[in-house]
Amino acid sequence: MPQLSNTNGGKLRPKFFLVRKKGKSGEVVPLIAVDELPPTCNLVGVPRTLDLEETIGMLNLGPQPSISEYYQVIQENKSICAGSSTQ
């Protein structure tokens, strides 16, 4: 999905976000594509790719190049999904 925005010291950085309504203001939340998670990391009930029929009711951000890297997933300073740095 997003191209790398290397304005964060060369680290992976999402290119897209959404705003969740919360009271009078909104909470800004970054969007990370599932295929940017390590191959060993899966979300329950969420496939890594979709068929066109499965996209009904979803918003399309249009074609986006792959970042060819994976985010590191940690829980309490411990890696929980191992993966290489490239797809």
Range of the domain at 32: 16-81
CA distance 51 to 20: 27
In a domain, residue 60? The reply is yes
Contact 48, 35 (CB under 8 A): yes
Looking at the domain assignment, is residue 87 inside a domain? Answer: no
Nearest to 72 by CA among 63, 84, 61: 84
Residue 11 lies in a domain: no
Residue 10 inside a domain? The answer is no
Please tell me the predicted confidence (pLDDT) of residue 84: 53
pLDDT digits (tens, 9 = 90+) for 4-49: 333 455 678 899 999 998 777 889 999 999 999 999 998 999 999 9
pTM of the model: 0.69
- Domains in the chain: how many in total? 1
Residues 28, 22: Cα–Cα separation, whole Å = 10
Residues in the chain: 87
pLDDT category of residue 77 using cuts at 50, 70 and 90: confident
The reply to whether 21 falls in a domain is yes
Return the bridge partners of 18, or none.
29
In a domain, 86, yes or no: no
